[in-house]
Amino acid sequence: MRILGIETSCDETAAAVVEDGQRLLSNVIASSVDLHAAYGGVVPEIAARSHLESILPVINEALSQAKTNWDDIDAIAVTQGPGLIGSLLIGVLTARTLAITKNKPLYAVNHVKAHVYATFITKGMADYHFPAHPPDFPLLALIVSGGHSSLVLFESHSRYKLLGQTADDAVGEAFDKVAKMLGLPYPGGPAIAQAAKKGDSTSVKLPIAQMSGYDFSFSGLKTAVLRAAQALAGKDYTFASSGLPEALTSAQKADLAASFQATALKTLVDRLEKACRQYQPASVAIVGGVAANSELRRLAEAALPSVIYPDVKLCTDNAAMIAAAAFFGRSTNTPVDPYGLSVEPGLSL
C-alpha cells in the first residue's frame, strides 16, 4: 500500500511516498527556515505563505522521485495538528482537495505521534541510515522537538500512555532560545551543537530541574544560562540578553553552549533511563528534531545500547513519518470525510 504523506505544521512543506509504512520511496522537504532566520524564530504568516507557494511543486516532486503516478497511490495522509493554524490549513486543504479529485481515502495524523513512526521506516532510499528493524512493543519513545518533549510508552499502535511531558518550554525551544541569546543562528539546535564542540561542558554549572515522575522543565535552565552569560560578560541581571552576543567572547559562548547542551541532554537521558528501568520496554526510541543531536545519541547509546533513532533527515519534520503513522494506524484510525476535515492546532497525544 502506497501512501502519500503531506506535512505543513510549522515551517517545512513536506511530501513523501511510503510503501507499507516501512519503505521510503521519496522524501521531499522545502523549508522556509531562511525566511525566518532574520526574525530569530518562525513567523507564522511567512510560513503559511511559503507553504502555499511550495505545496504543489513539493507533492509533484515526491511523486516523481518515487516514480509513482496517482494510479499507484492508495491513500493520502495529512498532519491535522498540532501546529500553526495557517500552516496546517494549507496542508489539510490541499490533502482534502486531492482526496476528492483523485478519489483516494484520506487519513488525518497527529504530528507528535507521527515522529515516533519515523523509526518504523526501515528500508528504501539509498542515502539513509535506517534502524536495522522496526521497534517492538512495548516501545518507550522520547519525543523531543521544537514544540514537544514527551516520554510515551506504546503498548501497541493504538494503546499508549503519556508518562511525562514538559511543564514549560520544549527542549528544542530551549536550544533555539539559548542560541538566540548567544547570537547563534536559527534553528538553534544545530548551531548550539556546533558551538558546543569548541567549549568545555563542565565550565558553567547549571541546574537540572527536579520534577515529579517523568515530567521535564527547561525554562529554569534557560534563565540559568542567561544569568551565567550575564556574569561571564561582567554584567548584572538587568543587562539585556540582546546585548550578550556583543559582550561575550567566542570562547565564552562555546562554554555556555556546551554546558547548556550537556545539562539539557543529561535531563533527557536520565529520565529515559529511569523509565526503562521501571517499564522494561522491548524497544527504546528517540525521535523528533533534537534526536538529530549527535551528543544526545552518544550519551543515550552509552546508557542504553539498543536505543534506536530515525535517520537524521527523518528526525526533523518530514512527511514520510506522516505516511507511516497513517499506515500503522489504519486499524483504529479509519479514513476521514474529505469534505469535513478541520485542522486541530492544539491537538494533544
Nearer to Zn ion, 173 or 317 (CB): 317
For residue 19, the partner it binds in Zn ion, ligand KG4, none, with Cβ less than 5 to 8 A by kind, is none
Task: Kindly give the interhelix angle for 188-196 and 171-181, rounded to the nearest 10 degrees.
Answer: 70
Q: For residue 166, state whether it binds ligand KG4 (rule: CB under 6 A).
A: no
Near ligand KG4 by CB under 6 A: residue from 124, 188, 199, 329: 188
Q: How far apart are CA 151 and CA 164, in angstroms?
A: 5
Near Zn ion by CB under 5 A: residue from 149, 317, 319, 322: 317
Nearer to Zn ion, 54 or 259 (CB): 54
Q: How far apart are CA 309 and CA 301, in angstroms?
A: 11
Q: For residue 201, state whether it binds Zn ion (rule: CB under 5 A).
A: no
Instruction: Tell me the per-residue interface mask from 13 to 32 with ligand KG4, x by CB under 6 A, - otherwise.
Output: --------------------
With CB under 5 A as the contact rule, which of the stretches 49-57, 143-151, 196-204, 329-337 interacts with Zn ion? 143-151
218 CA to centre of own chain: 17
Rounded to a whole number of angstroms, the minimum distance from the CB of residue 260 to ligand KG4 is 11
DSSP H or E segment with residue 16? strand 12-19
Q: How far apart are CA 102 and CA 79, in angstroms?
A: 19
Q: For residue 173, state whether it binds Zn ion (rule: CB under 5 A).
A: no
Of 341, 338, 335, residue with least CA distance to 74: 335
Given a contact cutoff of 8 angstroms between Cβ atoms, the answer to whether 260 and 178 are in contact is yes
Q: For residue 11, state whether it binds Zn ion (rule: CB under 5 A).
A: no
CA-atom Rg of the chain in angstroms: 20
Nearer to ligand KG4, 99 or 109 (CB): 109
CB-based burial, 132-156: b 16+ in 10 Å, e otherwise? eebbeebbbbbbbbbbbbbbbbbee
Instruction: Tell me the per-residue interface mask from 190 to 209 with ligand KG4, x by CB under 6 A, - otherwise.
Output: x--x----------------
Count interface residues toward ligand KG4 (CB under 6 A).
Answer: 20
Residues that bind ligand KG4 (CB under 6 A): 10, 145-147, 172-173, 175-176, 187-190, 193, 288-290, 292-293, 316-317
